[in-house]
């Protein structure tokens, strides 16, 4: 058995994965179970009482995490004239129009997120089949198609995350890195949960927040008490 496999098994055996932890104890256990040599991502999985097959129960939104994700985000902005300067001043890594669209059509994808001003969507719309499946297509519903291009770029560079409920009714989202420590991770988790709860569909009946679990990139997942998460939001 490799040393990595041994560490993985030891991390799993050190905690009771069937138990629902309090937020403080659970986060301590999550962080204590890390063993990778890199700064692992901390991710949350939220089980919601919705049926995403129905449009009126879809949960989709964005959240600016107070402490970011710990990841450097490369942002491409489709803009022109004064909006091009605004995007550059806000920190966009790439700014342009048709020349960038052509590069993308030729296979270039060295960026993580894309934003656009509405007047550039005639150019950007042609990239739907390329950017859409990768979750990189600018969308007005999540604030990435806007004339306030500077704000859109700043938020993405600062740690704005996008989330969307999957077919099983679960939202997956990163909330930071192991190196953040418990306090910053709690604040990021609180911001995300506030956004998810605020977006509760009116068509959702019964218990909306059914379960919450946290895990690191290599570590085991731990379940948390949903009631404590609700109390955190209050």
pTM, whole model, 2 decimals?
0.82
Q: Are 152 and 118 in contact (CB under 8 A)?
A: no
Percent of the chain at pLDDT exceeding 90: 72
| Better-predicted residue by pLDDT, 128 or 15 | 128
165 shares a domain with 65: yes
Residue 93 to residues 83, 96, 204, Cα–Cα distance (Å)? 14, 10, 40
Mean pLDDT (the chain, rounded)? 89
35 shares a domain with 106: no
Find the domain containing 82 and state its range.
75-157
pLDDT digits (tens, 9 = 90+) for 59-89: 999 999 999 999 999 999 999 999 999 999 9
Number of domains within the chain: 2
113 shares a domain with 102: yes
Average pLDDT over residues 15-29: 74
Please say if the pLDDT value at position 4 is more than 50: no
165 shares a domain with 63: yes
79 shares a domain with 60: no
Instruction: Round to the nearest angstrom and report the end-to-end CA distance of the chain.
Output: 47
Please say if the pLDDT value at position 183 is more than 60: yes
Give the lowest-confidence range in 25-29, 49-53, 214-218: 25-29
Write the CATH number for 56.
Answer: 3.30.190.20
Rounded Cα–Cα distance for residues 97 and 38 (Å) = 37
Residue 12 lies in a domain: no
> Strands, DSSP E only, in 11-159?
20-21, 41-48, 60-64, 75-78, 94-96, 113-116
104 shares a domain with 151: yes
Residue 9 lies in a domain: no
164 shares a domain with 152: no
Tokens of 98: 């048709």
């Amino acid at each position: 058995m490799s040393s990595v496999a041994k560490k993985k098994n030891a991390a799993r055996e050190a905690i009771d994965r069937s138990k629902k932890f309090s937020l403080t104890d659970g986060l301590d256990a999550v962080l204590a179970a890390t063993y990778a040599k890199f700064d692992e991502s901390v991710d949350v999985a939220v089980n919601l009482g919705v049926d995403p097959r129905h449009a009126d129960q879809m949960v989709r939104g964005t959240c600016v995490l107070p402490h970011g994700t710990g990841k450097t985000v490369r942002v491409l902005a489709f803009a022109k004239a004064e909006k091009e300067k605004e995007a550059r001043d806000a920190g966009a890594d790439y700014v342009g129009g048709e020349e960038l669209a052509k590069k993308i059509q030729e296979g270039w994808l060295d960026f993580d997120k894309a934003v656009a001003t509405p007047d550039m969507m005639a150019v950007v719309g042609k990239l739907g089949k390329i950017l859409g499946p990768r979750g990189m297509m600018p969308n007005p519903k999540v604030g990435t198609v806007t004339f306030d291009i500077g704000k859109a770029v700043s938020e993405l560079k600062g740690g704005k995350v996008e989330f969307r409920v999957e077919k099983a009714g679960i939202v997956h989202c990163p909330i930071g890195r192991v190196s953040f420590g418990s306090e910053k991770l709690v604040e990021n988790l609180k911001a995300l949960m506030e956004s998810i709860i605020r977006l509760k569909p009116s068509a959702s009946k019964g218990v909306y927040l059914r379960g919450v679990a946290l895990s690191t990139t290599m570590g085991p997942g731990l379940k948390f008490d949903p009631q404590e998460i609700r109390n955190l939001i209050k």
